[in-house]
Amino acid sequence: MKQFKPLSLVTVIGTALLLSCVAALAQNADVSNSEARKPNIIFLLADDLGWGDLSCYGHPELKTPNIDQLAAGGKLFTNFYAMSSVCSPSRAAFLTGQFPVRNRVYGHFSAPEENAERGMPNWLDPSAPSYARQLQKAGYATAHFGKWHLSLPSGVGAPAPTEYGFNLSKAYLASGPQLPVAREENPYFRAQSTEAIVDETIEFIRANQGRPFYVSAWTLTPHTVLNPTDEQMAPFIDEFAPDPEHISHVGAKVVYYATVNDLDIQVGRLVAALEDLGLEKDTLIVFSSDNGPETMWIGGASHSGIGSTGPFRGRKRSLYEGGIRMPFIVSWPGTIAPGQVDRESVLAAVDLMPTFCALAGVEVPSGPAAPDGENVLPALLSGPMERSTPLFWEFHYEVDFGHVIHKSPYTALRVGDWKFLSNPGGGRVELYDIPNDPTELNNLAAYERGVTKEMQQQLKHLRAEMPQVSIEAAAGTDHYPWPE
């Protein structure tokens, strides 16, 4: 049974007032039909971009002026969570509004034999809840461009994204029409993919500007393997490349910075296209990432894996903050006041389903399809809000690379200010006061015994709701091979 605090009367009243304001704005919009114009929604999702990889989140060297401007014109959140530290379960949580383990998505979709070993299907069940399907019911034109990875990497035999509520898709790691960038023998496929995704997004917007639309523009970068073009790297060579007299390679900074810089450029192109079409005040833009940055210990990232987690412990595949806390920026000129930074609200990927439904004026799925998140529209449109539902993570595979300080227990729970991590059934037990210890270095489990016991019980109840699957014996370990 889910345990959480009920919504306060202030939150309920505030939500009602905000929704009435959104309805009033829609009624005043200039539309070609008699129905009130619902807000357009664009969801930009980067791949393996760290919390600290943007200059607006404090990166000391990387400059991301277009994304920074998106934040300056809207609202930046510092406490937003993806629901996994790897891609497929993270994306499943965004789309369904449910913790990914509910749909048996524990790790990335792979070959059938590996999926079977993990107790996973070969793709997300197309009957699972989908905010795209809910938005279709509200009259939205819906599209998905870019990375999918909610099926086998080849996509062979899998349902296409259109079976999840998208009218149109051109995707990567999916069935159906593919992203229009040649992959065969093209070493710059990934480097050129973000431009192609934005091209498709702009074309779709132009074709559907007379009606409300939703677009997923999910990039392939900065996921490995990174190989930016010479033109993309040129602005960074002089300042960041190693001494060419001694080292021939351009270095990890040039490769990674050039990739993130191109992402920023393409975001700028998309925003400019919206402004040219006069749609900026009708459109909510959401920007985030699926999980923390890759580590240089992975072969494909040994030349580039320097993504920043900001001040946080953990990286990709870790349930410490650096693996799951993501940048989150929202922009809606004329509706969301500019220049805001929210350091208090705790938001998550599972909140997008109920929030998008609220914006579109459509019911949230109920019963087994009910989301694990909550409507966070008050936090987007107004001041900070207090979270009433818990957040739950499980990544039950051994992480046998990278520094041991990043190797977390395999389950985690966030309730209020507290974050609890453990290996249920024995092993590590960790409790952190996140606002006062965001780096997760001061384990309070032995000192806050009452909180620890309560969190253990909540975690036990939540896990009991989920499909049961075997856990790798080495999951959640932080072993180091000390000399004998």
- On whether the CB atoms of residues 146 and 193 are closer than 8 A, the answer is yes
- 144 catalytic residue (yes or no): no
- 87 catalytic residue (yes or no): yes
Determine the straight-line distance between the first and last CA of the chain, rounded to whole angstroms. Answer: 47
Eight-class DSSP state of 178: B
Active-site annotation holder among 108, 144, 149, 406: 149
Q: How far apart are CA 217 and CA 142, in angstroms?
A: 11
Q: How far apart are CA 343 and CA 128, in angstroms?
A: 33
Residue 296 identity (one-letter amino acid): M
Write out the chain in H/E/C secondary structure.
Answer: CCCCCCCCHHHHHHHHHHHHHHHHHHHHCCCCCCCCCCCEEEEEEECCCCCCCCHHHCCCCCCCHHHHHHHHCCEEEEEEECCCCCHHHHHHHHHHCCCHHHHCCCCCCCCHHHHHHCCCCCECCCCCCCHHHHHHHCCCEEEEEEECCCECCCCCCCCCHHHHCCCEEEEECCCCCECCCCCCCCCCHHHHHHHHHHHHHHHHHHHCCCCCEEEEEECCCCCCCCCCCHHHHHHHHHHHCCCCCCCCCCCHHHHHHHHHHHHHHHHHHHHHHHHHCCCHHHEEEEEEECCCCCCCCCHHHCCCCCCCCCCCCCCCCCCCHHHHEEEEEEECCCCCCCCEEECCCCEEHHHHHHHHHHHHCCCCCCHHHCCCCCCCHHHHHCCCCCCCCCEEEECCCCCCCCCHHHCCCCEEEEECCEEEEECCCCCCEEEEECCCCCCCCCCCCCCCHHHHHHHHHHHHHHHHHCCCCCCCCCCCCCCCCCCC
CA distances from 306 to 47, 62, 302, 378 (A): 14, 12, 9, 35
Which residues are marked as active site?
87, 149
